[in-house]
Amino acid sequence: MIRVFEAVTKRSGNGYRLFIAGGVTNCPDWQAELIKKLMNSEIDVDVDIYNPRRKNFPIRDKNASHEQIMWEYDRLKNADMISFWFSRGSLNPISLYELGMWGNSRNSNIVVGVDEEYERIPDVLIQTKLARPDVTVMLSLDQLAANIVEKINNGKQRC
C-alpha cells in the first residue's frame, strides 16, 4: 500500500519512507504525476511518500515558511530514499542545495531525475557524477519512477 503525506501534516506512517524532493514554486505539479506512476507500479512493500507540495500554502502566515522547512528537513533526515526531480519552470535552488547536502552524504539513498527542459541539466549531471558516481540521472519521470520501484524491490531501499 502507498500512503501520501502532504507537507506539513503531523501524521506519518510506518512503511518505507520516500521523500520526493524537487521544485514546487513556478513548476508544474510533477509530484502528482510521479505519485500516480508509483501507485500504478508493482511495489513489494508499504511505502509512505512525503510530498512537500501543499494544496494550500498560507502565504500570509509569516510562520508558514519556517514550518515548511522544518517539516521537509525532518522528513529528509529520516527518509529511506530521497528522490530528486529537477523540473522545468524554475532553477529549483532549494532542491539543488538539498541534492548537494544529501547527495554528498554517502549514507543517503538517492535517485535523481531531470526534466529535459530544465535549464541547468549539465550542472545536475556533473555534480551528481562527481559526488555519487553510482547514481544514474534519469531523464524522464517514467525513468525516475521505474528507478525508484527497482531500488525498493531489489532491497536497496534501507540505508
Expressed as residue numbers, the domain containing 124 is: 2-153
10 lies in a domain? yes
Stated length of the chain: 159
158 lies in a domain? no
pTM of the model: 0.93
CATH code at position 110: 3.40.50.450
Instruction: Tell me whether the omega of the peptide bond preceding residue 8 falls within 30 degrees of 0, making it cis.
Output: yes
The C-alpha cell that represents 60 in the structure block: 500570509
The model's pLDDT over 82-124, given as tens digits with 9 standing for 90+, comes to 999 999 999 999 999 999 999 998 778 999 999 999 999 999 9
Whether residue 139 has pLDDT greater than 90: yes
67 lies in a domain? yes
32 lies in a domain? yes
pLDDT band with cut points at 50, 70 and 90 for residue 58 = confident
Average pLDDT on 37-60 reads 93
46 lies in a domain? yes
Report yes or no: 151 and 109 within 8 Å, Cβ to Cβ. yes
84 lies in a domain? yes
Number of domains in the chain: 1
Q: 105-140: buried (b, 16+ CB within 10 Å) or exposed (e) per residue?
A: eeebbbbbbbbeebeeeeebeebbeebbeebebbee
What 3-state DSSP class applies to 92?
coil
Whether residue 159 has pLDDT greater than 60: no
57 lies in a domain? yes
Could you give the CA distance from residue 153 to residue 85 in angstroms, rounded to a whole number? 20
